[in-house]
Amino acid sequence: MVKSLKKYSLVVLVIFGMLFSSLLMAEGGKAPNKMMAMSPAQMAALKHANPMPNLMMVVMKHEKELDLSDQQKAALAAWRKEAHPRMMEMVKTVIKLEKQIHDAALAGASGAVLQELATKMFNVRGAIIKQKLACRNNMAKILGLEKMKKVIEFYKADMGGKPAEA
């Protein structure tokens, strides 16, 4: 039962990955609205590969309540324009490596080969966490302490007080 659930989860992740890639190709890799439009497949892939909270989405969702200045909006948009494409590439890499591990295991690859692929995947996940930490720190600098506290409150309320599930 557990094995079939794991297989089902991997199949779903691979499908999300393929959908995510095709959506990026169809959209030319660009979000259709000003900052935050992501498809459900993109969001699922991002949540799967990234254990850190996605605070930028919260800021954009609650832009009016946060009373962001034009300068703050511009600074956040500039950060996202630079960081988001790199983040999505790392997410795609995690999904690709997970599929490689899965397929290699079924093909009878040695433990050393599987461990090498796993190490690569863990390194990319570490880079994702490092990038999300930089995003959070930059956001706090741009918004200031009071607005950042509000962002965290909105995040917790939006997530029902729980971390995002993969």
**Would you state the pLDDT for residue 50?**
73
Global pTM value: 0.68
Which tokens hold the place of 8?
């089902």
**Would you state the pLDDT for residue 25?**
37
CB atoms within 10 A of CB 164: 16
Q: Give 73's contacts (C-beta < 8 A, 6+ positions apart).
A: 63
In one-letter notation, the amino acid at residue 153 is E
pLDDT tens, per residue, the chain with 166 residues = 445 444 444 433 433 343 334 333 333 444 333 444 667 776 666 666 677 888 998 999 999 999 999 999 999 999 999 999 999 999 999 999 999 999 999 999 999 999 999 999 999 999 999 999 999 999 999 999 999 999 999 999 998 765 554 3
Q: List C-alpha distances in Å: 28 to 36, 121, 142, 146.
A: 15, 26, 29, 37
Q: Is 54 helix (H, G, I), strand (E, B) or coil?
A: coil
- The whole-angstrom separation of Cα 166 and Cα 156 is 16
**Would you state the pLDDT for residue 42?**
64
Angle between helices 40-49 and 2-26 (to 10 degrees): 120
